Structure 1
Amino acid sequence: MDNFETTIGLEIHCQLKTKSKMFCRCNNDSESSKPNTNVCPVCLGMPGTLPVANKQAIEWTIKTGIALGAEILPESKFDRKHYFYPDLPKGYQISQYDMPFCHGGQIEIGGKIIHLNRIHLEEDAGKLTHPAGEKYSLVDLNRAGTPLMEIVTEPDISSPAEAKQVVEELRLNLRYLGVSDADMEKGHLRCDANISVTSKKQDTN
């Protein structure tokens, strides 16, 4: 692998620990409650329901952006991201695309600056459980609608070790700010890695 170089960008999803969900008044507790008890017509996607954004979640997203040196945009909006998945009852996710709350920012690891592309706010999906040996899956929608903040880095990361440092540094910041418990074992902090592996450029001099 010495002849190859790695370029990595991360999409880090963080559950915010607000009292209520992102677009309804349901209790934001997907862990200790019985399955499908913290749900309502809004987070179940019933026809005619209208979402109302969680003010605390928006404030915490902006707070995180300020802490990470991001630009706070004067105007923002939510968008519908359409896709089908068993634990997404609406058939779409309320997210942000071209007008997020925060643009730019950075995370420093060992003297190296990892630039951020954006920080935006969306809602989490439900949770699927697959009982061993069974031919069916169970759907728990208690998590559906949980405020989910997404931090997207630029492809400035050049190794798995650096990627780990970025997530660990971000976790420290989120816990210090008090916006999330950032417990990865409980799914509070999840990460998607976009990885490119290319041949190293040969020095022709």
Structure 2
Amino acid sequence: MFCSCKNDPEEKEPNKNICPVCLGHPGALPTINRSAIEKIILAGLALNCKIKNYSRFDRKSYFYPDLPKGYQISQFDFPICKDGYLDVHLDDGTIKRIRINRIHMEEDTARLIHEGSSTLVDFNRSSVPLMELVTEPDINSAEEAKKFAQELQLILKYNDISGANMEKGQMRCEVNISLSDTEKLGTKVEIKNLNSFKAIEKSIEYEIKRQKEIIEKGGKVKQETRGWYDDKQITMDQREKEDAFEYRYFPDPDLPPLNISDEEIEKIKKRLVELPEQKRKRFKEEYNLDDKSIEFYINEPSLADYFEKVISELDCWKKHKNCEKDSIKVCSNYIITDLQAIIKNDPDFISIDERITPENFAELISMLENKTQKL
């Protein structure tokens, strides 16, 4: 984020992509990564946020072995993105709007590797751009949290903001849970170590049950940070949670404030691609596909593109601009079932077009429709 070291989540050799800046050496001066700033603006626009014309970086002071400077460069009272929202589709067919309080940019910390009684530090990840998104307390269930994270991942991937691969650490989630039977929020507990959508869902379900049992027994929930342990399917306390004022935020004197013009925001806005929700609506209106098929294409954008190329090649589509719904359904079914199976079972697969071009696939569908070919 503040140096020119390579950002490579695939790097296996520890402490290879490092420099005096990300190691926090005295006298090393940070420089703002312009590309990272443009990507957080792009994310904010995709998530219906207001992009602030003025922003700045602050020092967040705390001590931990993965933080060589003794502070983290982050943003406190002047984040880049504010007041957005994301609509998520729930299993019962309803749509839940979840408000986004802010999206700010900061640097990532180093990675700690625990080996027996020793802890090793890998600084390859230190100072990598880290976009942090904070929601309003609108999420009321484990399902809503999981769906929000899944939709967010799609948006980041669609716009090439991040690979957002949770297994590689490109996307991480921390949840704050508080139980209350009134409008006033209860005591907040933060859960870390969530590196999959399943972990998000299961950790929330467990923590709700844990806090509920404490309250029902007349106890008091302690404000703390807890970790999720996948092997035991439980959360365990890690440390007491600090309040924001204990981090002693103050403006970073080594970095100039950001002045983002409306012209620059509009220029970045033009880079937005069709978002998942926009594609859902379009696929419903244009192709009349069922919800299950649409969700398949939303999660498989390369096959969605291939499907649309095939449809455009169908004779009836080219001639009348109104292809029979049965043809579209047949085409979609073969892509979702047979073609996907071929792709998954082929270890040497490179691209769909190398197997069968959209033109040839469209010809096959036409033959099936005309009953001149059977599979």
Shorter-chain TM band: 0.7 to 0.9
Contact 2:9 2:169 in 1 (8 A): no
> Which whole-Å deviations, capped at 9, do the CAs of 1:50-97 have from their partners, x for residues lacking one?
100000000000011011110000100000001111111111100001
TM-score norm. by structure 2 comes to 0.46
Displacement, 1:197? 1.0
- Report the counterpart of residue 313 of structure 2 in structure 1: none
Identity value in percent:
55
Judged with a 3 Å threshold, the aligned counterparts in structure 2 of structure 1 residues 77 and 200 are, in CA distance, closer, same or farther, namely: closer
Aligned to 1:13: none
Q: TM-score, normalised by structure 1?
A: 0.84
Counterparts of 2:156 and 2:144, CA distance in 1 = 18
For residues 163 and 67 of structure 2, what CA distance do their matches in structure 1 show? 24
- CA spacing shift, 1:97–1:200, aligned 2, 3 Å: closer
| Aligned position for 1:7 | none
Tell me the CA shift for residue 188 of structure 1. 1.0
The answer to whether residue 166 in structure 2 is matched with residue 166 in structure 1 is no
Unaligned residue ranges in structure 2 (runs of 5+): 90-94, 184-375
**Counterpart residue number, 1:11:** none
8 Å CA contact 2:9–2:170 kept in 1: the answer is no
1:104 aligned partner: 83
Write the letter of the residue equivalent to 1:31. Answer: E
SS class of match (2:39): helix
Instruction: Give secondary structure in 1 for the equivalent of 2:125.
Output: coil
1: distance between equivalents of 2:46 and 2:118?
Answer: 44
Gaps of 5+ in 1: 1-21
- Contact 1:30–1:38 at 8 Å: present in 2 too? no
1:182 aligned counterpart, secondary structure: coil
1:34 CA displacement: 1.2
Name the structure where helix makes up a greater proportion of residues. 2
Find the counterpart in structure 2 of residue 114 from structure 1.
98
Structure 1 residues 86-97: aligned runs within 5 Å: 86-97=65-76
- Is 1:143 matched up with 2:125? yes
Separation (CA, whole Å) in 2 of partners of 1:30 and 1:165: 25
Report how far residue 185 of structure 1 moved: 1.1
Q: Which has the higher contact order (CA 8 A, sep 6+)?
A: 1
Letter matched to residue 99 of structure 1:
F
SS in 2 for 1:39: coil
Within-5 A mapping of 1:4-153: 22-110=1-89, 111-131=95-115, 134-153=116-135
Structure of larger gyration radius = 2
After superposition, residues 163-202 of structure 1 pair within 5 angstroms as 163-199=145-181
In the TM superposition, structure 1's runs of 4+ consecutive aligned residues that sit over 3 Å from their partners are none
1:30 Cα deviation (Å)? Answer: 4.1
Q: Displacement of 1:196 after TM fit? A: 1.1
Measured after TM superposition, the shift of residue 200 of structure 1 is 6.5
- CA RMSD in angstroms, aligned pairs only: 1.2
